[in-house]
Amino acid sequence: MIFVASGGIAVADGSGDPTAVKQNETGEWLDKEGNPTYKVNGESVDWYTYSGYRRYHSDCHVCHGPDGLGSTYAPALKDSLKTMSYADFLGVVASGRKNISTAAENVMPAFGDNPNVACYMDDLYVYLRARSNDAWGRARPGKHEDKNDAYTKNEDSCMGKK
């Protein structure tokens, strides 16, 4: 379950081979299964990876630590995505999760109603997938693809709903 064989290469990625094969109209790259993924060219990244970096370091890092590396409080998402699929990721972020036992009391809130997170699920996933596969390091992405009109339209309508 941990290692998903894909194209003969074992990758530790809950959603399989992260190689980007096509780009949709919002500038989002997809793998061959149709899951969102990153596209990194040297120092430059796609818009989703950049946007995900920013959103992560606003709403997620206060528990999960800088750069997806985890903290004394919450797990390292850089590692979580090695076993967690895209669908599971969406489910946990939207609905939250509880891990309460005599030894641990870890609770993640549901972010489904928080547009600052819910409208950027794919951005966060793509950034963390890049971190998980070591396609992007700890630094802030410098160069990046621009935000396009289709993305902006989606973003406005999502953020405007609330």
* Residues contributing to the site for another protein (CB under 8 A): 43, 53-55, 57-59, 61-63, 65-67, 69-74, 76, 96, 98, 100, 103-109, 111, 113-117, 137-140, 142, 159, 162
Nearer to another protein by Cβ, of 36 and 65: the residue is 65
- The CA distance from 52 to 160, in Å, is 19
Cβ 64 to another protein shortest distance, Å: 8
Q: Which is nearer to another protein, 9 or 100 (CB)?
A: 100
Q: Which two tokens stand for residue 150?
A: 């289709």
Tokens encoding 66 = 């800088």
Tokens of 62: 């206060």
Shortest spacing between CB 31 and another protein, in angstroms:
25
Q: What's the min distance (Å) between Cβ of 49 and another protein?
A: 14
Question: Residue 82 corresponds to which tokens in the numbers above?
Answer: 């090695």
In angstroms, give the least distance from the CB of 109 to another protein.
4
Q: Token pair 């996933």 is at which residue?
A: 125
Neighbours of 20 (CB within 10 A): 18
Supply the DSSP string of 61-80, one letter for each residue. Answer: HHHH-GGG---SSS--HHHH
**In this complex, which beta carbon is closest to another protein, that of residue 138 or of residue 153?**
138
